[in-house]
Amino acid sequence: MSLSAATLIVSVSGQFGSGMSADEFAAPDATWALSFDVDSNPADENTDAFSFDAPFSDFSYLLNGSAIAVSPESIRFFTSDDGGLFTVFFGPETGFFNGMPIPEFSFSGNQVFSGTTNSPTILPGSYPIADATYSDAANFDDEGASGTVTISSPAPSVVPEPSTFALLGTGILGLAVTFRRRFFTPRPKGSEKRPDFVLPGKRRNHFCLH
């Protein structure tokens, strides 16, 4: 999904408890980390008075440092009146698919956007997690108040100053002039004679014809 130039990076990490059952998303005592890109002014999608779905891209999920090839079906942001922060759904937002609970991460805390759910502006910052839970068909892990959600702008790409281009051009021109003088300037007559070199420590041999 293509996002606008006002893209933000949302990231959060944590650790599962020892009672987790191992599956695609979880493992006992495993560390996890997820991140995704979102527009600071997301399009109006599936909104109500307390929440909205935000289009996202570049979703990443790591389990014990290894990338897991998964992508959510939706990511929903909530007002402070409905718990704040957001929930990542790996299936329908009803919480079930074919009668089975879907995997989902849910984070509650402060509201991370200004404006309304119909016209939100997601705000960069660090947001303490008041409660974090993960659930799927075999697991329910309530980490409680643990960690921080970070929303940040991508690092700007470095664009050289015009003066840098000017200095680079001057250097290239100087090299070109030096090269031309060295290899294309005619030499004086008689200058083609090669010098008689003597290696250090070696005597020059003289040959005389009688």
Whether the pLDDT of residue 81 is over 90: the answer is yes
What confidence score (pLDDT) does residue 117 get? 96
**Residue 124, in any domain of the structure:** yes
Whether the pLDDT of residue 197 is over 60: the answer is no
Residue 114: which domain range? 7-152
φ, ψ for residue 15, nearest 5 deg: -145, 135
If one counts the domains in the chain, the total is 1
**Residue 38, in any domain of the structure:** yes
**Residue 159, in any domain of the structure:** no
**Residue 121, in any domain of the structure:** yes
**Residue 87, in any domain of the structure:** yes
**Residue 65, in any domain of the structure:** yes
> Which two tokens mark 22?
């191992």
**Residue 66, in any domain of the structure:** yes
Q: What is the mean pLDDT of residues 63-78?
A: 96
- Full-model pTM: 0.72
What confidence score (pLDDT) does residue 61 get? 97
> For all residues of the chain together, what is the average pLDDT?
82
Lowest mean pLDDT among 19-33, 156-170, 195-209: 195-209
Q: What is the mean pLDDT of residues 116-143?
A: 94
Q: What is the mean pLDDT of residues 68-84?
A: 96
**Residue 136, in any domain of the structure:** yes
